[in-house]
Amino acid sequence: MYFKQITTPGLGCFSYVIGCPAAREMIVVDPKRDVQDYLDISRQEGMKITHVIDTHVHADHVTGAHELKSHTGCDIMMYETSPVTFNFTPLKEGQKLTAGNAGLEVLHTPGHTPDSLSLLVTDFSRGQEPWMVLTGDVLFVGDIGRPDLVGNAKLDEQITNLYNSLYVKLASYPDHLEVFPAHGAGSLCGRGMSSKPNSTLGFERRHNPMLGFDSFEAFHLAMSQQFPTRPKSFTHIISTNASGARLLERCPMDLAMEPDRFEERMLDSAVVIDVRNAAAYAGFHIPGSINIGFEPSLANWVGMVVDPKSDLLLVVDSQADYERMRTELHRIGYDNIHGYLMGGIESWVYSGRPVDKLSIDSAQEVEQCLEDGKKLSIVDIRTPAEIAQGKIPGAATVSLIDILDGKFDLPEEDHHIIYCASGYRSNIAASYLQRHGYWNVRALAGGAIAWTRAGYPLEK
């Protein structure tokens, strides 16, 4: 049996290739939208892609099922009640598939969505019992799937489904069964996933806190608590996956734009995303642009900040950066990418067009202002869990999500210093506020990390 886990950086997504070189057949599970990795494996290992299976209608990334079908003619398979509008081959509880020595058995494991499935995987060359289980978004390493994405009206039903999938159905399988989920650390489909890409049922039963409740009531209470903020992109991605993603070849053509054409598109209400690092963006940038750096998870933050139906223009340092960013945006359904600024920000500057700056204050500068008794508005945009570890004395707390949703009360005329943990999120917030008329907003260089390493205290 051939088995390979493929990681999608930035989104925390895992997909899988299962096959048999002797039988020249392979099955792809939960593919990402850019499918070259699977096509390369197919060619290198001499296996034909016969089926592609999605374990559920994904909310955080666009499936590559349709891309693979267009390249190979493979069948698209999902659980029989999946709410999609395109033709697919339905899978039923207990149904078995084979690709030579590799065997798959379908388990209906609702909870993350009503139509989620898991796949028991057997290598017949080694034995007749399952070796591993692909759990989709039902069970992760260190966490379980969030049940709230289908809406509050079905939340209680989904919590019940999730409990039955985890505490009844999967509970019947042995400890040694290996667990391979559809997501890992960095994904927004759970709350506390481990960075380890796989586990076993036994280890999760002992150490996964979400599998340790002694009653359904205790489980229900825990699953009714607050979940990670739902990005703007999730509804769009679910709709795209339910109706069938358009092929990438039908997305807008790549355009390297001169400053005059770039500016014309800006005036047509296109959103400009500048992916340079915080210091480069602070030096000078196109007025009205939003800074969302490549690292650590560009796709998740674009999904929080930008409407997925927006026309997009990109400011990058090179064509290679553009290609990388375009791929990441396509993975989350942001297809209206109309081009990038040829020659980067320098071409804009040398064209004589105006630029803005984003002031960045060091920890030492902020501390000196506090020592001198100067009036400062310091705004902590970190999560409640981060803030609980301590914040800069006198800082107000406003979540980044509330800033992006306009749910804040910051006087425009005040000198606001925004900070997060490292400076990444503060640049997003500061550039967003600057775009909306806050001209005296600044960011704290290095965030809370720089503050504490400079020897300054935090208050709780």
Instruction: Return the CA Rg of the chain.
Output: 24
Asked if residues 128 and 122 have their Cβ atoms less than 8 Å apart, the reply is yes
Q: Is 251 a known active-site residue?
A: no
Cα separation, 329 vs 140, in Å, equals 25
Number of Cβ atoms within 10 Å of the Cβ of 176 = 13
C-alpha dist (Å) from residue 343 to 58, 284, 313, 349, 406: 37, 15, 14, 10, 34
Question: What SS3 class is residue 29?
Answer: strand
CA dihedral 70, 306, 243, 138 (to 10 degrees): 90
Residues 6+ apart with CB under 8 A from 372: none
E-strand ranges in 191-291 read 199-200, 256-257, 271-274, 290-291
Map tokens 């400011």 to a residue: 315
**Looking at this protein, which amino acid is placed at residue 310?**
S
Asked if residues 365 and 339 have their Cβ atoms less than 8 Å apart, the reply is no
H helix or E strand, kind and range, residue 312:
strand 312-315
Cα separation, 55 vs 30, in Å, equals 6
Cα separation, 327 vs 135, in Å, equals 26
**Looking at this protein, which amino acid is placed at residue 261?**
R
| Closest-CA residue to 148 (of 217, 79, 56, 223) | 223
| Closest-CA residue to 376 (of 427, 421, 417) | 417
| Closest-CA residue to 112 (of 52, 13, 195, 182) | 182
Instruction: List helix spans (H) across 248-404.
Output: 259-267, 278-283, 298-305, 319-331, 344-350, 363-371, 384-387, 400-404
Q: Could you say which of 20, 74, 189, 420 is catalytic?
A: 420
Question: What SS3 class is residue 324?
Answer: helix
Asked if residues 46 and 21 have their Cβ atoms less than 8 Å apart, the reply is yes
Cα separation, 298 vs 292, in Å, equals 6
Q: Which residues are catalytic?
A: 420
